[in-house]
Amino acid sequence: MTGGLSVDGLTVRFGGAVAVDGFSFTAPPGRITGLIGPNGAGKTTTFNACTGIIRPAAGTVGLDGVDVTRVSVAARARRGLGRTFQEVELFDSLTVAANVAMGREGSLAGANPLRHVVGHSGDRRAVDAVTAEALEMCGIAELAPARAGSLSTGHRRLVELARVLAGRFHLLLLDEPSAGLDEHESEAFAGILRRAVAERGVGIFLVEHDMALVMAVCEHIHVLDFGRHLFSGTPDEVAASAAVRDAYLGAEVGDVA
């Protein structure tokens, strides 16, 4: 695979504990790829290794055919790798529009410190355009002037998603983005993810415990259990797997498959 995220033999250790053990997978562009498993299975650790927050003990991380295993977090972002976190991270005192704009402003600044102080003449127009587009895509354009700290959990999740979409990243790692959303909000969120893939061709690598959302949007799903790659396949194949049922899904899968 020359495009998207390609991970081979990823191993992460914390002291004597192995958090991820030889995990290999791909998350190509134009597709939503899921990563599921019990709490403590190593899902967020995998994300942290992919984005450069932690350095793996073994294995490689490739982005668009380039080995980025030892590339910094910021450099991976400049190469098109975007990320959200389990806990919503917004600047509560700023407006929704200002929060979303930061997704694009960060990529414009790049590695040049001067760009953090002085921008090009066309930067503001570019930022305003992509901010408006991201707000519209997430259905929150009317919230642009609102203070982020005044929003509900559902709206805060959408602001976070709009910010990463404004960054123009072509591969998005979303870590439990529907946490705190009700059923209606999760369905709307799924529609936004599908639209982002359909209209932009982005790849999405999704960690999520909402199995209804996972089964609805993912074309391919990987399952981790105690840091090891237990299974991978289509949603139907995952739902039919006895090993996945025993390790994670249990009887609930019949309600969402």
Q: Which residues 6+ apart lie within 8 Å of 18 measured at CB?
A: 11, 12, 227
What is the predicted pLDDT for the residue at 39? 92
Which three-class secondary structure state does DSSP give residue 67? strand
What's this model's pTM, rounded to 2 decimal places? 0.90
Q: Using alpha carbons only, what angle is made at residue 197 by residues 194 and 201, rounded to the nearest 5 degrees?
A: 165
> pLDDT tens, 145-164?
999 999 999 999 999 999 99
Helix 123-137 × helix 183-200 angle, to 10°? 130
* Residue 104 identity: R
* Residue 152 identity: S
| In contact, 228 and 21? CB cutoff 8 Å | yes
Q: What is the mean pLDDT of residues 15-28?
A: 96
Q: What is the mean pLDDT of residues 161-183?
A: 93
Enumerate domains of the chain plus CATH numbers: 1-80+170-181+202-257 (3.40.50.300), 90-168 (no CATH)
What is the predicted pLDDT for the residue at 248? 87
DSSP assignment of 138-167: TT-GGGTTSBGGGS-HHHHHHHHHHHHHHT
| In contact, 218 and 211? CB cutoff 8 Å | no
> pLDDT tens, 74-124?
999 999 999 999 999 999 999 999 999 999 987 776 656 565 556 666 778
Q: What is the mean pLDDT of residues 61-71?
A: 96
- Count CB atoms within 10 A of the CB of residue 116: 12
- Count CB atoms within 10 A of the CB of residue 117: 8
- Note the maximum CA span of the chain: 59
What is the predicted pLDDT for the residue at 123? 78
Burial 211-220 (b: 16+ CB within 10 A, else e): bbbbbbbbeb
User: Which of 196, 207, 171 has the alpha carbon at shortest distance from 85?
Assistant: 207
pLDDT band at 257 (very low <50, low <70, confident <90, very high): very low
